[in-house]
Chains A and B, each alone.
Chain A
Amino acid sequence: MQISLYRYNPETDSEPYMQNIDLEIPDGQDLMVLDVLHLLKEKDAGITFRRSCREGVCGSDGVNMNGANGLACITPLSSIVKKDKLVLRPLPGLPVIRDLIVDMQPFYQQYEKIKPYLVNDTPAPSIERLQTIEEREKLDGLYECILCACCSSACPSFWWNPDKFVGPSGLIQAYRFLIDSRDTATEDRLANLDDPFSVFRCRGIMNCVTVCPKGLNPTRAIGHIRDMLLKRAI
């Protein structure tokens, strides 16, 4: 298989370049892209990428594979390779540190902004704050986000305004806390989102939905936030 790999080492390269590498894929096997990266690293130990769990739970190996963002560890070659060619690039829209490793700072800053923790100003109960089954169900499809950044880095609105638009990942998290029955800061949270950038830069292109490796739907969550903001304002 022919691989075209994005290479950039700021200490030795003046600018990034694509390296072409031919790799023998063992017959009768459908490797994951992460396996391919490990095979490449055996050939050239300098090739740099992030990974940890290798089973789609930690969110550390988001990369751009033949143009689509996804987790290398759970993306089988058969699902993306066409004409025996695989192009591997870092997640778009984030500064590259080295090879496939990007600086996640702009992404985390947006996450931090939405206060990703429960805020409750009522006296703490002796054991725990209980939820009904229905209340708990509202968090399904939201809490599963692993912060891999595949969605935000596929979103044109996030590319143009990474410092102002919260992005699909931050917004799916924001909604997760907005509808949590145990959270009492709904009004503050909404007030912090009610500017022309944080939420309203979403144009509903749905790249985020297409790429999310956990099958989540940030666009729907964003729509719910917009409805909450509208109800609050009219």
Chain B
Amino acid sequence: MVTSVTNLGKSGVSDWLLQRVTAVILAAYTVFIVGFLLLNPELTFTQWSGLFETTWVRIFSLLSLISLGAHAWVGLWTVSTDYIKPTGLRFLFQAVVVIGLFVYVVWGIQILWGA
């Protein structure tokens, strides 16, 4: 058993499963948004902001946003443990990624539920 404390889940399986589940959510969200854009070629701002006023779209968007954060964390954490060998540098990279993703998620929530 290799010890690891910086990965997202509590085990290899949890990270692996999370990576797959979030990928499916992100794919579904992409299909949804692209589909909406294709069905509304002459999109106006009112239509667009109206879409994000519906509660389920907001929930779906938030779910996708959190999925994106988790997906990116698992992926970039893996990349860092593969390629960045000096521990200090690896930790710095991981810290920057975590903070960056946190900011994006909070910012996203603000956009979705903001004015």
Contacts and interface: CB of A to CB of B under 8 A. Distances in A.
B108 to A, nearest CB: 27
B12 A196 contact: yes
Nearest to A156: B82
Given A194-B1, A195-B4, A230-B17, A200 B82 contact: no
Contacts of A195: 1-4, 11-12
Interface in B72-88: 78, 81-83
A222 to B, nearest CB: 12
B99 interface: no
Contacts of A143: none
A157 B12 CA distance: 15
Q: How many interface residues does chain A have, given as a range?
A: 20 to 34
Contact of B16 (A157, A160, A226, A232): A226
B81 to A, nearest CB: 7
Given A164-B2, A192-B1, A230 B13 contact: yes
B17 A196 contact: no
Contact of A160 (B13, B15, B17, B83): B83
B83 A194 contact: no
Contacts of B14: 233
Given A195-B4, A196-B4, A230-B17, A161 B12 contact: no
For chain B, what secondary structure do more than half of its interface residues adopt (helix, strand, loop), or is it mixed?
A: helix
Given A164-B2, A200-B16, A230-B17, A194 B11 contact: yes
A229 B82 CA distance: 23
Contacts of A230: 13, 16-17
A55 to B, nearest CB: 37
Nearest to A234: B17
Contacts of A197: 2, 4, 12, 81
Contacts of A65: none
Nearest to B17: A230
Nearest to B79: A160
A160 B12 contact: no
**10 nearest interchain CB pairs?**
A200-B12, A197-B2, A160-B82, A196-B12, A233-B13, A195-B2, A164-B2, A196-B7, A229-B13, A194-B11
Given A160-B82, A197-B2, A229-B13, 12 more contacts: A160-B83, A161-B82, A164-B2, A192-B1, A195-B1, A195-B12, A196-B2, A200-B12, A200-B13, A230-B13, A230-B16, A230-B17
Interface of B: 1-4, 7, 9, 11-17, 78, 81-83
